[in-house]
Amino acid sequence: MEALAERLSHLDTHVQGAIRVVTFYDTLMRRRVDLPALARASAALAECVAGIRLHGTARAIRMAPDGREAPAPSAPASSTAPVVLDEEEIGSVWLERPGPPGPLDEVLLDRLAIAAAAVAERYGPARTTMADPALVELVVSPDCDEAARARALRLLGFAADLPLRVVALRSRVPLDRIGGLVCPARPVKAATLADVGVILATTVDADRFPADVRAGIGAADSPDRSWREARTALRFTTARRPVVHHDDLGALALLARIPEDAARDNADVAAIARIAGNPEDLETLDAYCATGSLRRAADCLHLHHSSVARRLEQIGRTLGIELTEPTGLLRARLALTAWRLLDD
């Protein structure tokens, strides 16, 4: 009987402690605190470092019991819990307690995770550029239902009533740097899907892309359609035209829908493929097609116009196209573009 009484006494103490923890977090949630304040209060309650990380952000919030940011490097987590919103894991919370977990750590982390999910739903994550690729993929996927897309946008920090531009790009420049340049004062998120970089932004300043970046910019209101347009525009980028707006393609965008076999079998495209082995000829043809003028092409190539004229005459014979005629120039432009799309 004495042993049972002792066990019930310990249980009662644990239950009372758990109730105090629940009440503590209920109070915090009524006060509508943000994530740093939530981590700070949790660290004070647990008397050890408490951390919060949302997948949509690039940093962890770690607070020490004295209310200050915990120093780096972080200690191993003594216990962790997932942050779940609408049945989706959106982050994690943890305690860095020296030694084994405390008797109320599980309850504390459970309430901390619930509170962190409520804060994320209310305010969205802290402003950072790099984002969880899974969330970005939900936003741009054509197979995602609108409720899940809206939830992913909210978790990324985008308000439902804000316009959204989608950019597809390839670059060796870090995506967070590019995002900060093209959208410096408004919400922007970036991630890599497969081998293509993605930037989601409320505005995009195309003139601020760094050199050596190839970028396609979508125009549709729907993120999934804008992503499709951005990828199409990316395929049309060249060294002379590294940034392409889908809207500017007009009817040229139809070339991206031509089956590859049909394009390869076209006589003009096959002729371009034959001269592609000579970089000098390809560069000359590209400059002429881009400018539409013999003299402007010569200026681009830093050559005398007579030299360019001789090259174009030879290229025209190889292609079987009279390049100086408007129809011939149009054929060459279309064939060169279609050939490039094959190599994309």
Question: Residue 165's closest CA among 225, 219, 216?
Answer: 219
pLDDT tens for 225-266 read: 999 999 999 999 998 999 999 999 999 999 999 999 999 999
In CATH, what class is 258-343?
mainly alpha
- The CATH fold assigned to 2-123 is Beta-Lactamase (3.30.450)
For position 185, what pLDDT does the model report? 72
Quick one: average pLDDT of 46-72?
Answer: 87
Cβ atoms 243, 215 nearer than 8 A: yes
For position 121, what pLDDT does the model report? 75
What are the E-state strand segments in the chain?
49-54, 61-63, 79-85, 88-96, 165-170, 188-193, 196-201, 214-217, 243-245
pLDDT classification of 7: cutoffs 50, 70, 90:
very low
For position 340, what pLDDT does the model report? 93
Cβ atoms 114, 128 nearer than 8 A: no
Q: What is residue 138's DSSP assignment?
A: H
pTM of the model: 0.66
For position 9, what pLDDT does the model report? 44
pLDDT tens for 178-232 read: 998 998 777 889 999 988 999 999 889 999 999 989 999 998 889 999 999 999 9
For position 90, what pLDDT does the model report? 81
pLDDT tens for 8-18 read: 345 456 778 88
Question: Residue 59's closest CA among 10, 130, 4?
Answer: 130
Question: Residue 221's closest CA among 187, 253, 246, 186?
Answer: 246
pLDDT classification of 112: cutoffs 50, 70, 90:
very high
**Residue ranges of the domains in the chain?**
2-123, 133-254, 258-343
For position 8, what pLDDT does the model report? 33
Q: Assess whether pLDDT exceeds 50 at residue 171.
A: yes
Cβ atoms 329, 294 nearer than 8 A: no
Name residue 254's amino acid.
Answer: L
For position 1, what pLDDT does the model report? 32
